[in-house]
Structure 1
Amino acid sequence: MRVDLRAVLALVLTLGAPAISHANGTGLGAPVPLGQATLRFLGFEVYTATLHTEGADQFDWDRPLSLRLDYARGFSAEDLLQGTRKELQRIEGKRSDQPQMLKKLATCFRAVGDGDHYVAVSTTPDTVEMRLNGARTCRVSHPDLRKRFLGIWLSPNSRSARLSAQLRGE
């Protein structure tokens, strides 16, 4: 089985989410840090992810979340989008609304390099706002977007269950 290493890395980085307009950089009014984890691939650091939730010290899909990715490697916007597509299909199979959701998410991604950070903030189950280095790139609405998109990093079925558990504070 042939593995496209660049696509795997991109999917893992996909979320590289932005920091919303709140002064604390998380996009949440009362952020509580839950976990932090560094993704390494073949020994090289890819990114460090940090998860915050709104006012609670336990992970809960029903609470607002903020996921920050601090990149140590560069990826194109297309790499990030294709990584997102592949991970969504791997986690949830092909769903009829995936093309529509991916078209919306495509507006979010920009090329990233060493030192860049994305923050993805979801204050409702159906919305995600993303910021790259503090500048908003998008606000996307789609049914169950929080769980589906952020599940790439936070789901027990994510590519790295260990990293996901660390982020969720487990």
Structure 2
Amino acid sequence: MWFNSSCTSAKRRRLLGAALLCAFMAAANATAGVADWRALLPQAQALGGGDMTWFGLRIYRATLWSASRPFDAAQPFALQLSYYRSISRERLVRTSIDEIRRLSPAPLPAPTLTRWEALLNTAFVDVADGDELTGVYLPGSGMRLYDRQRLLAEVNDEALARAFFDIWLNPDSRDQRLRQRLIGAQP
């Protein structure tokens, strides 16, 4: 027995209460920081997807999730990227900022780009073959980024969120075929 016979009933209850409190706190700490992006989009379905390639090399598989069909970029959605290759966080940030700059209809102010780069640098992680990152667009607030089901960052900058997802969804995106597949316009 974990207590001796000299323990009173009150002492046993306090010990049991303390043990239960410790167990509860351990369980709460184990789930802290864990979040499921699907809870934000419970009705979401995969609209489409395809591989992003560069000179014939597969970089990642992209899947667009949304509750609205046809796709409506003004509604919440998720873009899931399943990587085939290792890419450093620095390269992901640099490539994202370069594409945001390229797609912008007007030159973006240097302080804005610097702030966005810092936000992405904080939010992104290095990726390897088999990793899965998901970005969830939340109109009116910004985006949340997940590593599988673990919340990496909440970015409360709607302009950055729109510019970031434009990398894949803008009519002038670098891979038009992938864009068409993502939004379900092409099989």
TM-score normalised over the length of structure 2: 0.74
Tell me by how many angstroms 1:124 deviates: 2.0
Aligned to 2:128: 113
Structure 1: which 4+ aligned runs deviate by more than 4 Å?
none
8 Å Cα contact 1:77-1:110 kept in structure 2: yes
Distance 2:82 2:144 in 1: 17
Q: What are the superposed Cα offsets for residues 90-111 of structure 1, whole Å, 9 maximum, x if unpaired? A: 1115312222222212211111
Quick one: percent identity of the two aligned structures?
28
- Given the superposition, is the C-alpha separation of residues 26 and 114 from structure 1 closer, same or farther in structure 2, using an over 3 Å criterion? farther
Aligned to 2:31: none
TM-score normalised over the length of structure 1: 0.80
Larger helix proportion, structure 1 or 2?
A: 2
Secondary structure of the corresponding residue to residue 123 of structure 2: coil
Q: What are the superposed Cα offsets for residues 109-135 of structure 1, whole Å, 9 maximum, x if unpaired? A: 111000000000112243110011322
Distance 2:158 2:46 in 1: 26
Matches within 5 A, 1:55-74: 55-74=67-86
Tell me by how many angstroms 1:27 deviates: 4.0
What amino acid is the match of 1:115? G
Distance 1:26 1:152 in 2: 25
Query: How many residue pairs get matched?
Result: 149
Aligned to 1:12: none
Tell me by how many angstroms 1:20 deviates: 5.3
2:138 is the alignment partner of 1:126: no
Higher deviation after alignment, 145-154 or 72-81: 145-154
Aligned to 1:43: 56
Aligned to 2:65: 52
Aligned to 2:99: 87
Matches within 5 A, 1:1-12: none
Tell me by how many angstroms 1:87 deviates: 0.5
Bigger radius of gyration among the two: 2
Query: Structure 2, unaligned stretches of length 5 or more?
Result: 1-33
Tell me by how many angstroms 1:75 deviates: 0.3
Tell me by how many angstroms 1:71 deviates: 0.2
Q: What are the superposed Cα offsets for residues 44-64 of structure 1, whole Å, 9 maximum, x if unpaired? A: 2111000011x2111111100
Distance 1:164 1:20 in 2: 28
